[in-house]
Structure 1
């Protein structure tokens, strides 16, 4: 009875998250009760119609990570789709002070909107507030500001949902063994996103009576993933399931697993790299799944900034205003659906 109930709970969570993500995509919509067929600012045709040219400033961290590189390239590609968008791109940086000065430059240039993936959400909050006070809407991507007043729109991946998705998959695979040993390789423990992922994972495992038995933290790099995994494998002579938070560091994780000659467990990745998905396609690999953390967030931010400044709305919603907060879904990729996700996956 408990297994059936908790499985239904996980299904409801996944369906609810999927519905939230669907609202982000511009698909077909019907103007319920409309008396004419003219395009409006809340229709697909109205959304895509060329409007007044707007200038969008975009700033993000340095692309020193496969996922971050994909974030930046997707944003640039999205802007090129629109002849009415002039995109000003600041050089990627991991220096919060430099990024603050970049945003100040956008404010001085009187851009129409700013899409900002902050290297540190708290550190960039004050300058984002300044932009908002100057009448420039800010679209906050991935790492949240510490004030809700610092952004008109916040668009996020679902870090807690990633953990839930990973934990639910582990439960489905080994949950019938009450003594299953579950291991976890986190990212940087001081980051809220890592804490959220770990909490979601732990909460989902509780549904099938499991806990994390062995845990280490890495640093989102290949080298860190390999070193931390070697440490974990030495401490845990037997593992049934392992979740690695990040597919970029997962290259090192897999290298350590191969070097140790371990293959008695299943592995779940995180973020959704092409490398991980090719591993999933290999029946001999321990890698059986990965959880998507969308690399489209800044591209979505560009699209939303355009709609916002041009006074348009999202065509899949009845609401005539752009939402203030959007959280994207965290689906699980397995051998059953990998062909759907691989073509748009990023390379680590």
Structure 2
């Protein structure tokens, strides 16, 4: 645990102490509009990703259009329409976090056919050959970390765990699910999965009802793994209402998740440098439009390496538990929006 805290502290102090690089100021002459298409504008994580992108656009003097499908992460058709509109409006570049990795392949092929640079972020496209580059973090690793943390919490004892995921068509959510279930199957014969994986359609009320039903039908249930913020924000209060007799492991952070960790309901979650994902997506688009070769990107004292084989930037994954949330120096990691409250000149 001390090693985990030390690694996080290094990241946090880097984010807090060093201003954005002046190199971003050289891109104000780029013509045209970059269309930045998100999954949704809800939850601290997605708001931080968006704010990171807006900060980069402001610093670089770029014209960026920020849009989101009206129905959020479940609105695949709406997101496809946004990409089509960007193409028709003559976008200089398009940045997309796909709500469905397979369903967006066809419209992303249209982007490439139109000669428009395509920057994917957060979630990969099913056909990676279409994307100019990809900015994200390891969702599968989050599932692995959750399984490891669960086993450690119970000291390797025999336990039963259920899984509540968000959506079945979202690559990020499925990787989190498979990272967890694969790790249990490969490493932990002492952990038994109860029933089928449930999907809450990214709705916290549905997740709450599913968790309540699971605990009623399985009085010997020891734990629930919730794969994203919307799922765990429903699972945690359901478990709390039952007296915290079931341990919860999850992914993502928010004020509600942090409080549930402090209450002892959630024993572990994980997160990324959310603002960096948004920031890097705009910087990458600008570099491509300026005719530059993509290389490692530095921001706020941290280097985000480019895997030149897959053209992927990794923002990293960080574990969060009671030791971390009770350390005020870690606030900038588990409450990502607070970083912008202290950033000099930030007015979004």
Q: Name the residue aligned to 1:180.
A: 159
Runs of 4+ in 1 over 6 A off after TM superposition: 317-323
Count of matched residue positions in the alignment of Structure 1 and Structure 2: 308
**1:157 counterpart = 2:133:** no
**1:136 counterpart = 2:136:** no
Q: Name the residue aligned to 1:53.
A: 30
8 A Cα contact 2:156 2:190, kept in partner: no
**1:238 counterpart = 2:257:** no
Cα distance change of structure 1 residues 267 and 91 upon mapping to structure 2, 3 Å threshold: closer
1:137-187 superposed Cα distances (whole Å, 9 cap, x missing partner): 10112333232232111223322111101011112221431x223332222
- State how far apart, in whole Å, the 2-side matches of 1:327 and 1:318 are: 7
1:82-102 superposed Cα distances (whole Å, 9 cap, x missing partner): 22x111223533444443343
3-state SS, counterpart of residue 181 of structure 1 = strand
- State how far apart, in whole Å, the 2-side matches of 1:327 and 1:236 are: 39
1:237-272 superposed Cα distances (whole Å, 9 cap, x missing partner): 13333322122232221221233x232343222112
1:53-97 superposed Cα distances (whole Å, 9 cap, x missing partner): 3431112234355544444344334322322x1112235334444
Query: TM-score when scaled to structure 2?
Result: 0.75
Q: Name the residue aligned to 2:202.
A: 220
Q: Name the residue aligned to 2:257.
A: 276
- Cα deviation for residue 229 of structure 1 reads 0.3
Root mean square deviation of aligned Cα: 3.5
Task: Flag the structure with larger Rg.
Answer: 1
Which residue of the other structure, out of 179, 193, 201, is the alignment partner of 2:172? 193
Listed as ranges, the gaps of 5+ residues in structure 2 are 298-302, 339-348
Query: TM-score when scaled to structure 1?
Result: 0.75
Listed as ranges, the gaps of 5+ residues in structure 1 are 1-10, 29-43
